[in-house]
Structure 1
Amino acid sequence: MVNRVAFAVPGDLATPTGGYAYDRRIIAELQRMGWQVDVVNLGEGFPRPTWETKAAAKRKLAEVPKGCPIVIDGLAFGVMDEAARELRDRNPLIALVHHPLALETGLKPEEARDLKGTEREALSHVRWVVVTSPSTATMLVDSYDVDADRITAACPGTDRAPAATGSKDGTLRLLSIGAVVPRKGFDILVAALASLKDLRWHLTIAGDRTRDPAAAAALDAAIDEHGLGGRIDVLGALPPDRIEALYAGADIFVLASHFEGYGMAFAEALAHGLPVIGTTGGAIPDTVPPGAGILVEPKDVKALSRALRMLIANPTERKWLANGARTAAQELPTWRDSAKLVAKAIEAAV
């Protein structure tokens, strides 16, 4: 039985995003299961690393003992096609794909084309692929020529949580959690809320503002432009206890992502019994069933605004969806469930 694995991540494993949280929790569970996990830091700047960073990352991977399986996070792996080709016969490679790099919002067509090409090439050199949703698995089979028989869908685990108590002052508390990057659709959310000034609500956005400074500046400008500075708080990245407090005090979870490879924040909202408003982008419909939330097409400001108005103004509907959220949460995997699937994938690769 395999009991040692190298786990390669781009940059700081403590980075406060869903993808890094997935890596941290899987690594921790593998260690609890008796695995020796050697974390390899591939450096900062992925998926657009400097030449020097990319070369250093190749050297670090080459230092992994021969025959030891290597799990490589897709944020880096998708642009490491040369390293994958050189290592394929030396180490069993397992790609961990959160979502295809080419689907990040805001890319120029040529950038998306290049990323798709390098990721497809890199994936051709792996023994196995781990994805975070069945939706992403289908995408890799259909568009990246990956054999369905060597893909494992290991959805993120979700911690069990107490039901949110909600607001007590008559102002509905809306919560949105995600890094401030174009793909999360915060510009769409602000535009949708701009037509709801007649209702009592307050939105809190919590997520890393440093990954895309231009997107953060654009969000601030949009809030000011619509005169919503007193009704929207943008808090930046927060520690887990602060995030937990935000969930506890919320009435509705809303996130207008253009695409999600899974949507961990949606699952966390379900675990807290929050009615959800989201989009149909990527794997979100797999995570949020109809009885737990309202999903609209990505980038549809009017549809999002209608969904928000309906839920803000309708406590009966909120309660019904909250009950559906708690029911759906009972079907979500734990982190141990997810880690067991990853462990099987590593063993299959060897």
Structure 2
Amino acid sequence: MTIAAAFAIPGALDTPTGGYEYDRKLLEAAPAVGLALSHLPLSGGFPRPTRAEAEAAIAAMAAAPGPVLVDGLALGALPAEAIPEALGARLIALCHHPLGLETGLSAEASARMLAAEAAALARCAGVVTTSRTTAETLRTRLGVPAARIAVAPPGLTPAPRAPRRRDPAPMILGVGTISARKDWGTLVAALSRLADRDWTCAIAGDDARDPDAAQALRAAIETAGLAPRIRLTGALGRAALDALYLDADLFCLPSRYEGYGMVIVEAMMRGLPVVACNAGAVPEAAGGAARLVPPGDPEAMAKALAVVLDDAEEADRMAAASRAHALSLPGWEDAARIVAGQLAGLRAEPLRDMREHSA
């Protein structure tokens, strides 16, 4: 039996972030599991929509027949009181990570956003998250009952192993938007401690979404005297990014929080040793195959990178562990199947048993 549903997504579907990649892959994989998922575009003003944009999003979802899967970038920013009960009864929220946990928010702003997102989730019939870690966060901090949450980890597309030539110097690759949460400044500070070693670095990510973070990163690179060795590529398409993975010798993600960390497992599929921060769902995604350090600790990151740069045998061991872990992970059809099950099991009424949450 085919399940038909709309998938409400704010902004441009081709935006080069992990969240949008998840949405694109889910749309592609859905037909193979009997899920007819139609793209319902919403305004690009989220997660800070105007009142008119929020009202238009709710109207568009209300007009869609049948179940509606809504990306959390939109759902988390909608006023709960404006979501009709009839719509909430057929809404499934896809939460990549709570909007209120974005790095750089004041304590007051974070609490306000978490409370608003909890209220919006209370109007929905169910939730899909991309990790067990995020599911637990929704349960403990936003009061979503565990029975109403389905975890659909990102799939992983097969890809060839990187040759890791280390010639003329090992290339350290980082992938992710230039933003406060990704914390590329910690990587730069770590690399400044390793200036006596041979290495180059490429950071691939959109540098236009957070101009202040991009300016601060460029200034940090210049101040450290590393401009000849660290390259910012800007946002890359899939083919260019795949080529960069194959040119890399090791991978680093200094992020302060991740709802999953798709780029980590993408790097592992290429057989790259991975150094990352023990933040959010990163340990879950890495599956014990990465070297993890505390977030925001350049000294610890420098030591971890030094091990991979200096010890070829350990680097090879980590590379093999990366590849083995990646090959054990599910595919996109598995994720689509879980989402289809959540959509098929919609209750007749919206959630009413949300307990009081504490932000």
Q: Which piece of structure 1 moves more, 315-324 or 85-94? A: 85-94
Q: Which residues in structure 2 correspond to 1:122-271 (within 5 Å)? A: 122-271=120-269
Q: CA deviation at 1:88?
A: 4.3
What's 1:328 paired with? 325
Structure 2 distance, partners of 1:3, 1:262, is 27
Return the letter of the residue paired with 1:127: A
Q: SS where residue 182 of structure 1 aligns?
A: coil
Return the letter of the residue paired with 2:58: K
Confirm or deny: 8 A CA contact 1:84 1:122 kept in the other structure. no
Structure 2 distance, partners of 1:49, 1:220, is 30
Structure 2 distance, partners of 1:247, 1:326, is 13
Q: SS where residue 255 of structure 2 aligns?
A: coil
What's 1:294 paired with? 291
Q: CA deviation at 1:87?
A: 4.3
Q: SS where residue 75 of structure 1 aligns?
A: helix
What's 1:102 paired with? 100
What's 2:357 paired with? none
Cα separation, partners in 2 of 1:274 and 1:83, compared to 1, 3 Å? farther
Q: SS where residue 160 of structure 1 aligns?
A: coil
Return the letter of the residue paired with 1:13: L
Structure 2 distance, partners of 1:89, 1:108, is 32
Q: SS where residue 45 of structure 1 aligns?
A: coil
Structure 2 distance, partners of 1:257, 1:274, is 18
Confirm or deny: 8 A CA contact 1:167 1:173 kept in the other structure. no
Confirm or deny: 8 A CA contact 1:204 1:233 kept in the other structure. yes
What's 1:284 paired with? 282
Return the letter of the residue paired with 1:298: P
Q: CA deviation at 1:96?
A: 0.3
The CA RMSD over aligned residues, in Å, is 1.4
Cα separation, partners in 2 of 1:84 and 1:271, compared to 1, 3 Å? farther
Structure 1 distance, partners of 2:247, 2:258, is 25
Q: SS where residue 136 of structure 1 aligns?
A: helix
What's 1:27 paired with? 27
Structure number with higher relative contact order (C-alpha < 8 Å, ≥ 6 residues apart)? 2
Q: Which piece of structure 1 moves more, 6-15 or 53-62? A: 53-62
1:66-105 per-residue CA deviation (whole Å, 9 max, x = no partner) reads xx11111011111113366314456511010000111100
What's 1:17 paired with? 17
What's 2:52 paired with? 52
Return the letter of the residue paired with 1:133: S
Confirm or deny: 8 A CA contact 2:3 2:340 kept in the other structure. no
Structure 2 distance, partners of 1:44, 1:329, is 33
Q: CA deviation at 1:61?
A: 1.6
What's 1:314 paired with? 311
Structure 2 distance, partners of 1:137, 1:82, is 20
Q: CA deviation at 1:35?
A: 3.0
Structure 1 distance, partners of 2:302, 2:82, is 45
TM-score, length-scaled by structure 1: 0.96
1:160-202 per-residue CA deviation (whole Å, 9 max, x = no partner) reads 1111012352401100000111111101111111111100000
The runs of 5 or more residues in structure 2 that have no matched partner are 348-359
Q: SS where residue 333 of structure 1 aligns?
A: coil
Cα separation, partners in 2 of 1:170 and 1:317, compared to 1, 3 Å? farther
Return the letter of the residue paired with 2:165: S
Q: SS where residue 69 of structure 2 aligns?
A: strand
Structure 2 distance, partners of 1:33, 1:210, is 37
Q: SS where residue 308 of structure 1 aligns?
A: helix
Confirm or deny: 8 A CA contact 1:184 1:256 kept in the other structure. yes
Q: CA deviation at 1:30?
A: 0.9
Structure 2 distance, partners of 1:256, 1:84, is 38
TM-score, length-scaled by structure 2: 0.93
1:17-71 per-residue CA deviation (whole Å, 9 max, x = no partner) reads 0000101111111134343322122201211112222222122122212xx1111
Q: Which residues in structure 2 correspond to 1:84-123 (within 5 Å)? A: 85-88=83-86, 91-123=89-121
